[in-house]
Structure 1
Amino acid sequence: MKDKYYSIGKVSEICNIPIKTLRYYDKINVMVPNLRQENNNYRYYSHDQMVRLFIIKRLRYLGFSLEEVKNILKEEEIKRIETIVEKKQNSIKAEIEELNKKYEEAATLKNKIHTAYEILENSNSYSAESSFKLEKQREVYVFSKTTMMQSYKNENVNLEKWIDIIESAKERNLNIQGDILVSYHTEMFGQFINRDCEVEFSIVVENNIEDVEVKKFGNFFAANAIHVGEYSDIIHTYISLKRWIEEKGLVVNGPVTERFMLSPVDIPNTKSHIVKIIIPVKPTI
């Protein structure tokens, strides 16, 4: 018998499958030992069963359920087996793509938090005026939606629209790679005075011009400021930045945009929220 059969311990050692798993396979009829001694219930496997256990191990590694494994082992038509494996291959590919998206989103969030940390680390000596800067806005791709907000007053973040833009981007399988942007298509300060206002909600995504709602943002000169803390206080940063723009001999040249570098959908602590104000400008004529 020793020449023809392998004990459950030997099978476990050779195939690197736990004895507990082999017993479970026996219980659910995935792999029933070819021989069982009546006096002690010891299990013994044939050489052919060892080969099938290697097949089972590979199929389990590929993610097949035990029920799927049982069906494959019963299948005699090789073309049918090829179809089943191809379907699993496509499923694995889809999982990889989804994991890559999760990895990129995690990397984006980590970078956002790291950038915010560097700003907040010096928050005790920080002032909005020290962040005022004139620079060319880097061009990025954004997925956006524009809506007319009735009697809009820019005191609180519109989380409903934020959630919608994030979920809509994911539904389109767009790879989110950056922050949420909110642009106000009105005169400067128009978003603060409780009037109808056309507001564009956007999120930075990977280059994908096939989607009609994905477009370029940036590639213009802007006066920028960094606002740290409660969003309801952001108007004071706007006022100071507007004064700074005038002192530089510049005028506003397009819709104001707020880039939420660290926002309520990132962390709950409002004192750590960071918004970059982007105001397109040009020299006074």
Structure 2
Amino acid sequence: MKDKYYSIGKVSEICNIPIKTLRYYDKINVMVPNLRQENNNYRYYSHDQMVRLFIIKRLRYLGFSLEEVKNILKENDIKNIEVIVEEKRNSIKAEIDELNKKYEEAATFKNKIHVANMILENSGNYNVDNSFRLERQREVYVFGKTAMMQSYKNENVNLEKWIDIIEAAKERNLNIQGDILVSYHTEMFGQFINRDCEVEFSIVVENNVEDVEVKKFGGFLAANAIHVGEYSDIIHTYISLKRWIEEKSLVVNGPVTERFMLSPVDLPNTNSHIVKIIVPVKPTI
């Protein structure tokens, strides 16, 4: 017996498979020992079974379920086995692609938190006027949807539209690269006066020229301001920014956009929320 068979302990040691797992394989008929002593129920495996256990271990490592393993071990047509393995390879590739997307999204989120943290660290000395900047808006790609909002009053963030745009981007397999943008296609302050307003909700994504709803945002001269804290107070930042624009002999030259650098869909603490107001401008004639 010692020359032909291996005890369950020896098999576990050689194959590096826990005894508990070997017993489970026996129970569900994945690998039933060739020999079982009636007096003590000790299990013994043949050399051929050792080889098959290595095959099982490899298939399990590749992600095959135990039911799939059983079917492969029963399969005699090598062409069918090739098809099964190719399907698994494609499945693994899809998992890798999905993990890469998650990795990129996590990197984007980490960078968002890092930038916001730098702003918040200086919030003790924060002054709205100090945040005003005149700069050319960097071009990014965005995926967005426009909606006519009835009797719109910009006091609260429209989370329903935000969630919709994020889910729509994921359904299109777009790689999210940055923040949510909300653009108001009305005159400056028009979003605050409780009337119908065309609002565009978008999110920064990786360039995808194949999607007709992905377009460029930016490339224009803008007066920018940073608003920290409660969103319902943002109108005061708008008023100060408008005054600053006029002092610089500039005029508004397009829809105002709010870039939510840290928002309710990122962290719940409203005191840490950060919104960048982007106002396209041009010099007065």
The residue aligned with 1:237 is: 237
Cα separation, 2, equivalents of 1:98 and 1:240:
44
Aligned partner of residue 225 in structure 2, secondary structure = strand
Report the alpha carbon displacement of residue 59 of structure 1 after superposing the two structures with TM: 0.7
With 4-13 and 196-205 compared, the bigger mean Cα shift is at 4-13
- Aligned to 1:31, the other structure's residue is in SS state coil
Consecutive unaligned residues in structure 2, runs of 5 or more: none
Counterpart in the other structure of 1:94:
94
**Paired residue for 1:162?**
162
Q: Match for residue 84 of structure 2?
A: 84
The more displaced of 164-173 and 4-13 is 4-13
- TM-score normalised according to structure 2 size: 0.98
Give the letter aligned to residue 11 of structure 1.
Answer: V
* Aligned twin of 2:103: 103
**Alpha-carbon separation, structure 2, partners of 1:220 and 1:2:** 82
Taking the aligned partners of 2:191 and 2:209, their CA distance within structure 1 comes to: 30
Report 1:39-54 matches (<5 A): 39-54=39-54
Show the 5 A alignment for 1:124-273. 124-273=124-273
Superposition deviation, residue 6 in structure 1: 1.1
In structure 1, what is the Cα distance between the partners aligned to 2:137 and 2:46? 71
- Identity across matched positions, percent: 90
| 1:152 positional shift | 0.7
Q: 2: CA distance between counterparts of 1:84 and 1:155?
A: 56
1:278 aligns with 2:270: no
SS in 2 for 1:170: helix
Distance 2:159 2:27 in 1: 53
Give the residue type in structure 1 aligned to 2:283.
P
Q: CA deviation at 1:36?
A: 1.3
The residue type equivalent to 2:190 in the other structure is G
* 2:113 match: secondary structure: helix
Per-residue displacement from partner, 1:195-214 (whole Å, max 9, x unpaired)?
11110000000110111110
Q: What's the CA shift for 1:167?
A: 0.5
The one-letter code matched in structure 2 to 1:41 is N
- One-letter code of the match for 2:167? E
Cα distance between partner residues in 2 of 1:196 and 1:209: 32
Matches within 5 A, 1:28-43: 28-43=28-43
Opposite residue 274 of structure 2, the aligned amino acid is I
Partner Cα distance (2:69, 2:234) in 1: 60
**Superposition deviation, residue 38 in structure 1:** 1.8
User: Are positions 1:71 and 2:64 aligned together?
Assistant: no
Q: How far is the alpha carbon of 1:140 from its aligned partner?
A: 0.5
Match of 2:78, as an amino acid? Answer: I
Aligned residue for 1:277, secondary structure, equals strand
Structure-1 residue corresponding to 2:5 = 5
Question: Can you list the C-alpha shifts for 1:74-121, whole angstroms capped at 9, x where unaligned?
Answer: 010111111111111111111111111111111111111111111111
What amino acid does structure 1 have at the position aligned with 2:92?
I
The alignment yields a C-alpha RMSD, in angstroms, of: 0.8
2:162 aligned counterpart, secondary structure: helix
Secondary structure of 2:24's counterpart equals helix
**Structure 1 residue 39 displacement after superposition:** 2.0
Q: Name the residue aligned to 1:21.
A: 21
Task: For 2:130 and 2:14, locate their aligned partners in 1 and report how far apart those are by CA, in whole Å.
Answer: 68
Shift of 1:5: 1.2
Amino acid at match of 1:200: E
Aligned-partner Cα distance in 2 for 1:216–1:16: 55
CA-CA distance at 1:190 after TM superposition: 0.6
Q: SS of 2:239's equivalent?
A: helix
Gaps of 5+ in 1: none
Q: Residue type of the partner of 1:33?
A: P
Greater Cα offset, 174-183 or 105-114 = 105-114
Distance of 2:35 and 2:82 partners within structure 1: 32
Aligned pairs, number: 285
Give the TM-score of the pair, scaled to structure 1: 0.98
Give every structure 1 segment of 4 or more consecutive aligned residues whose post-TM-superposition deviation is greater than 2 Å: none
